Every structure is written in C-alpha cells, then in structure tokens.
Amino acid sequence: MKVSRSHVIRVVSPIITFGMALSVWYFISYFVMNANRRSVALPAPHDVLQHGFLTWEQNRGLQPILRAMLITGRVALIGLIVAAVLGFAIAVVMNIAKPLEWSLYPYAVIVQTLPILALVPIIKIWFGSNLTSRTVACVLVAIFPIITNALFGLQSTDKSLHELFSLHKVSRFTRLRKLEIPSAMPSIFTGLRIAAGGSVIGAIVGDFFFRQGAIGIGRLIDNYQKEGRTTELFAAAIVSSLFGVMIFVGFSFLSKVVLKHWHETTERVL
C-alpha cells in the first residue's frame, strides 16, 4: 500500500513539533533555571514522567490522577451531552422565526460572557456541592458554541433547495428533518468539537469549587498545588489536556464517519 507524501507530513509534523517543544522545555529547565527553581517552577519532562506517572508504589502517580480524571471525565461527558441536546434544541427554536432568534440569542451571549467563577456561588446555593452542580457548570461553559454553530448551519442551507421544498409544499418538520439538519451537520460537529474542550474546563472548575464527593482532577490539582508537588501538578494538567484532546478527536472521527462521501469538510477533519 503506497503512502502519500501528504500522509507522511501529517504524521511527522506533529512529532517534530512535539520534539521542539520538549527541547524548549529542557532548555528552560536546565539552562534558564537553577536546581531549586527548577524543582518548584518547571521540572524537567523526565521528572514529570517519573514522579507524576511511574511512581506507583507511593500512590502518587498515574493511579490517583487516572482515578480523578475518570470522575471528572464522567462529569465532562454528561455535561457535553446535556449541552448538545439543549444547545441544538435552542438553535432549532431560534431557526423557526427571526423574532425567536432575536428574543433568545442575546441571552445565549450573556451565558457565554458571564464568568463561570462568578456563577459558582449561585450554582452552589441552588444545587449544592454535588454532581448536579458540576454538570451545570460544565453545561454553561460548553453550550454556546453548540448553539451558534448549529444555528449557523441551519441558516446556511441552500436557498434553491428551500425553494424546491416550498414548491412541493413540504411541511416545516419535514424540511427541518430532511434538509436543514443534514445540511447543518458539519457545523454541528464543529460546535461539538469546540464544546469538548469547554466541557472539560467546566468539569475541572466544578471539581475545584464544589468540594464534596469523589475527588476529581480539579481538586487533585488544587491539592498538589497546596502540597508543593509540582511534578504531579504538571502530570495532572497534562492528563486533563489529553482527555480534552481525546474527546475532540472522537468527535472528529465521528464527523468523518457521518459525513463521508457527501461533504467536502471530511477531507480536512482529523
């Protein structure tokens, strides 16, 4: 099987970038900082790997971080699913008529612009410090890109196709199901990929502030910071980032499967 040059570049390029980033990291750790400063501010990559992931016998590495990430990941996934359902429903309602869009869209913008940290005390009063509060925080961070991208996709349907459906006197629901939603799928998946990162951020914020129940990655990061365990702190941050990347790649793959053979955006999806 012949491998094209573009596929080779696609695989090699991020590897080269990763190597360059590690080189810069090592340079700053060993040539910009002294040993004391390095242990506190920027441990070398191999120290993060050793103490943050491979020190199993002291119960300091992958075991607690992975367990905490599974807890936070569950909240992030639940929040993302709820945000996807609500966001798409709101976009469909706004797409029905312009007055509905004018009525609802400003409030979607307000939800997006409100600092989540300012809402945390209110969420805690309303729902307590539990899984529900974490999920609500997650939904508030993730819902806006789903609304905006889904609405954009629904409103970007080809006008000539709308005219064809009108000519055949197709019902509003059939037009939505057979024309607008299929045409909006690329935009919907774009919103989901953007919201994936937001859902992880919202889940971590919820872990950090709603300090009851199982320890998620947010509380674990806070504990590491208070205890001065910088290597584990870096490891927890890396795992959080990788989880967000996994969700992003998952939606990218799902988008490619759903849209293959009929939309050009699949050529550029991960």
| 8 Å CB contact between 231 and 219 | no
Burial of 29 (0-12, 13-18, 19+ CB in 10 A): buried
- CA within 13 Å, CB half, 52: 22
At 88, give phi and psi (nearest 5°). -65, -40
Secondary structure of the chain as H, E, C letters: CCCCHHHHHHHHHHHHHHHHHHHHHHHHHHHHCCHHHHHHHCCCHHHHHHHHHHCCCCCCCHHHHHHHHHHHHHHHHHHHHHHHHHHHHHHHHHHHCHHHHHHHHHHHHHHHHCCHHHHHHHHHHHHCCCHHHHHHHHHHHHHHHHHHHHHHHHHCCCHHHHHHHHHCCCCHHHHHHHHHHHHHHHHHHHHHHHHHHHHHHHHHHHHHHCCCCCCCHHHHHHHHHHHCCHHHHHHHHHHHHHHHHHHHHHHHHHHHHHHCCCCHHHHCCC
- Of residues 123, 121, 105, the one with CA closest to residue 113: 105
Considering only the C-alpha atoms of the chain, give the largest distance between any 2 of them, rounded to a whole number of Å: 76
**Which stretches of the chain drop beneath a pLDDT of 50?**
57, 59-62, 266-270
- Provide the percentage of residues in the chain whose pLDDT is more than 70: 89
The crossing angle, in degrees rounded to 10, of helices 181-209 and 131-155 is: 160
pLDDT at residue number 57? 46
pTM: 0.79
Instruction: Give residue-wise pLDDT tens across range 59-79.
Output: 444 467 888 888 888 888 899
Residue 266 pLDDT: 47
Give pLDDT, residue 110: 85
